[in-house]
Structure 1
Amino acid sequence: MENPIMIGATAPDFKLQDNRGNMLSLSDYTGKKVLLSWHPLAWTRVCAEQMKSLETNYARFAELGTIPLGLSVDPVPSKNAWAKELKIANLKLPSDFWPHGAVAKAYGLFRELEGFSERANVIVDENGKISWVKIYDIPEIPDVEEVIQQLK
């Protein structure tokens, strides 16, 4: 893995399809904070808990002017089926499938050996700058309360 993106850097823009097949880009959210929550692979327990915590706290993120996004290298059909299985209604799950992991690579979060991203949370501020980065051990569920504290 290269070095993760640094606090204060301009967040690389991207254009990806979400789990519902809609295109979205980081620049769509200029003026809001964005939480980029990377999970290595859909259909795994820890990743499911990570995404469910974002869905459960979706209204709290909205109160803090923040759009949470759940990114992984899984293809759109897989992410869509997984979101339905997890009963995710609000959270968007962008697919960094092709070019494989290109967005994770742009943020220095791609694990070349395994072919997926780190488990990481990155907060992008209203001006498109990185304000917080945390990389977790793969088996660790990120603490959503810690993320919310960073947004306050």
Structure 2
Amino acid sequence: MNKNDKIDIGKNVKNFSLKDQDEQSFTISEKKGKKILLSFHPLAWTPVCNDQMQLLEKNQEIFEKLNTIAVGISIDSSFSKKAWTNSLNIKNTRLLSDFWPHGMVAEIFGIFRENDGFSERANIILDEEQKVSYAKIYDIGTLPDFEEIINVLKKM
């Protein structure tokens, strides 16, 4: 089975709420009318994850022009995320904590790696009605191609 087949395209997403690095809630049902890019990364403080979140930050203006809310998600705690965003100088990107229940949101999408205790590296796009419209799972050590993601968003 192709690992990208784990995620059901067209599936309505169950509402969820996670805290970001500032302990602010991000509730999916409050974002209707906007596309949402959920950029899953396995663990904070690792080189590829650092680069992935810095690319999210770098492209925030483009995402906004494309009516898209782009967020990072991992199993790290909000407190760890806060220190990490400060170290990376991330100011405009919300990094969500899927810490407790551990990996709950990754599990919703079928990308929680039970044996490892973290999610796959993946980009999932929800349309304005909160249906999965695009999903790609990457090898753990592979940096996602955000130009590809931007091109997908432009076509939506």
Corresponding residue number in structure 2 for 1:39: 41
How far apart, CA to CA, are the structure 1 residues paired with 2:29 and 2:89?
27
Q: CA deviation at 1:27?
A: 1.1
- % of aligned pairs identical? 52
Deviations 1:106-135 (A, max 9, x none): 110100010000000000000111000000
Count of paired positions: 151
**Equivalent of residue 144 in structure 2, options 116, 131, 142:** 142
TM-score (normalizing by structure 2): 0.94
Amino acid at match of 2:71: L
Report SS of the residue matched to 1:93: strand
Moved over 6 A (4+): none
Q: CA deviation at 1:4?
A: 2.5
Q: CA deviation at 1:5?
A: 2.4
How far apart, CA to CA, are the structure 1 residues paired with 2:120 and 2:36?
18
How far apart, CA to CA, are the structure 2 residues paired with 1:77 and 1:140?
26
Corresponding residue number in structure 2 for 1:123: 125
Amino acid at match of 2:128: E
Deviations 1:76-95 (A, max 9, x none): 10001000111111100010
Compute the RMSD of aligned alpha carbons.
1.0
Is 1:56–2:58 an aligned residue pair?
Answer: yes
Q: Which runs of 5+ in 2 are unaligned?
A: none
